[in-house]
Amino acid sequence: MRAHSHISVAKSKVRDGEITRHSGLKLEGGRVFLVASGLGLPRSWPFALEAVARGFERGLEEAHEKAGGARRVRVDRLVAAADRVRRELAEACDRLVERTLPDCAFAAIAMDEGDLHVVSAGPCRVYLHRSGKPQRLTPRDEAKDGALVARITQCTTPLEPGDLVMAGSVSAFSMRSIAQVVTVLQDDPRTEPPILASLLTEPAAQAGVGAAAVVLRIA
């Protein structure tokens, strides 16, 4: 099973400048994706995002080595990477002298032999859109905290050709962005991921809050 994918990221406006609060990563040849959102003070966002990305990549590789070199991305491998994110971020924070510690929410998705695995911590969202009906794959009772404190959640669901998977920051799923995506899909259900990802982040970019979105179309 293959997927056409696209990542869209919009920076956040802080005072007279812009800063990266949200990020998206494509890993393992497009089988694994990570979206993350910095929490806390704006100056800490890049620091937290870097620690999360570093921890996730290290966690994936460590789980790969423990599995004897198998490159499958089972949900347990994704959970192991999420656990490594928490440790990496905590270790990075231990080196700081800050009253308010940096934190970061994240969601990771992976395709493996016809299944979609989702692991998340904190306010990030993942949806599966099938035959015009969306299904949320991350908890509705979103935690306000990120990887340092929030419970790591997981789920697995089968994929079908034609499915759309949309993952991103909370800001990527505003009422306006969702309405835009719904309208476009009603006109053309085969709309490509680059257009959909841009529609998800455009309102947040205009509002100055920033966003990150990953869109996959399963073929």
- Tell me the whole-structure pTM to 2 decimals: 0.94
CA dist 105 and 49 (Å) reads 9
Single out the residue of 110, 7, 98, 109 nearest to residue 48, CA to CA.
98
Tens-digit pLDDT profile for residues 33-87: 999 999 999 999 999 999 999 999 999 999 888 877 666 778 889 999 999 999 9
Q: Please report the pLDDT score of residue 69 as a whole number.
A: 65
Q: Is the pLDDT of residue 99 over 90?
A: no
The residue-averaged pLDDT of 120-129 equals 96
Q: Is the pLDDT of residue 213 over 90?
A: yes
Tens-digit pLDDT profile for residues 5-23: 999 999 999 988 999 999 9
